Amino acid sequence: MNNLSQLRDKIKNKSKKAALKATNLIQNSFGLSGGNMTQHDRVVFDLKGYIVIPAVLNKDEVKVIKDLVLRQKNDPESLPPHERYLPGGAFAKLIDHPAVMNVLLDVIDPDVNKIRLENAFLSYREKGEGEWNPHAGGPTTNPNYAYNFQDGRIYAGMTRVVWELNEVLEDKGGTCFIPGSHKANYNIRTNPVTTIDARDSGLWESYSCPPGSLIIFSEAVRHSGDIWQNPHNPRAAIFCAYNHINVRHHKPTIPPEVIANLDPKHQRFFREVYHPLFD
């Protein structure tokens, strides 16, 4: 290949890349790619690091999932082996629930094949149970906790999707957040400030929501579990950790028989960690 044709190819590639970048920028700015997150939710997620989507599941749907997780907790032997652990059994169809995917396609990657589910567990707390344990927040170079905003869109790493199966009352035990701390400049993750982390510092935000609601947050936002104080019901919440296919935070613990029995459209969330470009 002579120098002139090499130069021509180089210019061609560069202009292709520039056109793609401009297209992405326009699409991202007008919310034309990714999920169908409303502009309201998109801005709130970016601003605070979390959003609450109330009553995504109806009463009957909540009952089915609650029955499953309580059986998994109290009487696992009564279930076939592949339904004894999350995300198996009736829960599986929630892996790619449209309300979840609308957000993940916007904040992790617009290509569903680049989104993984790392783990899922039940958080069950009776009144008085739980602990105050602030973590995350501030800048990080660790890609699994990444939170970036570039070319008109969010690029998040680990993103928690929480299904609240019982009612949550504000400041009575739901997950707490310091809104905006995923973009804080001071490193409150490695250099925590006691007066900021105190539960009564006035900087923590919680939420109330009916059963079947979704809380979705960037693992980069400073957050904490809390002591459950709701006198009416225990906390029953399913915590799912989604991430970009390029990184993994958790050691894999989901039994292979659980994954083997999922529908193929759900199995793809448990692919190995690598870039699908190499398929």
Name the nearest CA neighbour of 214 among 48, 38, 54.
54
Whole-angstrom distance, CA of residue 157 vs CA of residue 243 = 5
Name the nearest CA neighbour of 184 among 225, 221, 130.
221
Would you say 153 or 203 has its CB closer to ligand AKG? 203
H or E stretch covering 51 = strand 50-53
Q: Provide the minimum distance between the beta carbon of 119 and ligand AKG in the complex, in angstroms, as a whole number.
A: 10
- Dihedral angle sign, alpha carbons of residues 63, 86, 126, 218: negative
Residue with the shortest CB distance to ligand AKG: 225
Would you say 110 or 237 has its CB closer to ligand AKG? 237
Name the nearest CA neighbour of 88 among 263, 276, 279, 277.
263
Would you say 144 or 175 has its CB closer to ligand AKG? 175
Q: Provide the minimum distance between the beta carbon of 72 and ligand AKG in the complex, in angstroms, as a whole number.
A: 18
Specify the residue for token string 């309300």: 99
Token pair in block for residue 75? 């009487």
Helix, strand, coil percentages in the chain from 3-state DSSP, rounded to 5: 35, 20, 45
Interacting residues with ligand AKG (CB under 6 A): 123, 160, 175, 223, 225, 239
Burial (Cβ within 10 Å: 0-12, 13-18, ≥19) of residue 58: exposed
Q: Provide the minimum distance between the beta carbon of 205 and ligand AKG in the complex, in angstroms, as a whole number.
A: 13
Would you say 175 or 230 has its CB closer to ligand AKG? 175
Q: Provide the minimum distance between the beta carbon of 160 and ligand AKG in the complex, in angstroms, as a whole number.
A: 5
Would you say 160 or 248 has its CB closer to ligand AKG? 160
Q: Provide the minimum distance between the beta carbon of 215 and ligand AKG in the complex, in angstroms, as a whole number.
A: 9
